[in-house]
Amino acid sequence: MLILATTEREYPWGTLRSTHASKVKVILEEKELAYRVERLNPGDLWKKPPELLAKHPLGKVPYLLLQNGASIFDSTVINEYLEDRYPHNALKPNRDWELAQMRMQETFADEAFLVGDLPKIWMPYWSKPESRDEAMMEAGREGLRRRGLPYLESQLASHDYVCGDFSLADAPYMAVAMVLEVDGMALTDFPACAAYFDRLRSRPSYRSISPKTSLEASEGRN
């Protein structure tokens, strides 16, 4: 069975999860693969103990443990591996130009959202309300309003998903939909994005990363 190493933790409002690992979790679900989750202590991402570095040389999550004990790191690499190894329920196009488009969209989502402005909103939720940096959270929202959301809005003008059909390029946006469900940031100026995030949340795979799903109910699938 595949093992997904991630950080996920209960919170009075619901369940908080690593955004990059959520990208992989939804693809394991979309492909209906058997997997289980191994949850690391969030503090290990700062301490970077040798056991973690042995699996992921940058000491991050996610990494995926294969049945032979080998590990694969980086959410984008893992998702491409899953697609190549398990081609059923295809999530990437065959033609070179369309493939390049999908990879550009996925890279944009990673850079502008997951490592760009989203952590400023998301990281404070892992702390108590009184210790959150509200100014930083608002800066994150403003960053999304200035860069990520206008571009995404333009991409969604003529299709339901960023590259037409649901693909690997939509995986990072599942994590964005999760964070924005918790944060409740207004998307009134971005109606196509708002409808898109609702569409993503209605996919069965979203249940595995939803803040409404408990840790016990999202440990993997058989």
Site stretch for ligand GSH (CB under 6 A), options 16-24, 126-134, 146-154, 194-202:
16-24
Q: Which of 27, 61, 64, 209 binds ligand GSH (CB under 6 A)?
A: 61
CA distance 93 to 60: 29
Q: Identify the CA nearest to 5 among candidates 49, 100, 30, 14.
A: 49
Q: Using DSSP, state whether 172 is helix, strand or coil.
A: helix
Are 168 and 106 in contact by the 8 Å Cβ rule? The answer is yes
Residue 92 binding ligand GSH, by CB under 6 A: no
Residue 60 binding ligand GSH, by CB under 6 A: yes
Residue 45 binding ligand GSH, by CB under 6 A: yes
Bridge partners (DSSP) listed for residue 14: 11
When the beta carbons of 61 and 65 are compared against ligand GSH, the nearer one is: 61
Residue 19 binding ligand GSH, by CB under 6 A: yes
When the beta carbons of 99 and 123 are compared against ligand GSH, the nearer one is: 123
* Residue the block writes with tokens 């999304």: 144
Q: What are the angstrom distances between the C-alpha of 53 and each of 35, 74, 115, 174, 219?
A: 22, 13, 21, 27, 23
When the beta carbons of 20 and 25 are compared against ligand GSH, the nearer one is: 20
Please report how the helices 171-183 and 75-85 are oriented relative to each other, as an axis angle in degrees rounded to 10: 130
Omega of the bond prior to 62 within 30 degrees of 0, cis?
yes
When the beta carbons of 27 and 192 are compared against ligand GSH, the nearer one is: 27
When the beta carbons of 62 and 143 are compared against ligand GSH, the nearer one is: 62
Q: Please give the residue whose beta carbon sits closest to ligand GSH in the complex.
A: 60
Q: Minimum distance from CB of 135 to ligand GSH (Å)?
A: 22
Residue 75 binding ligand GSH, by CB under 6 A: yes
Residue numbers at the binding site for ligand GSH (CB under 6 A) = 18-20, 45, 59-62, 74-76
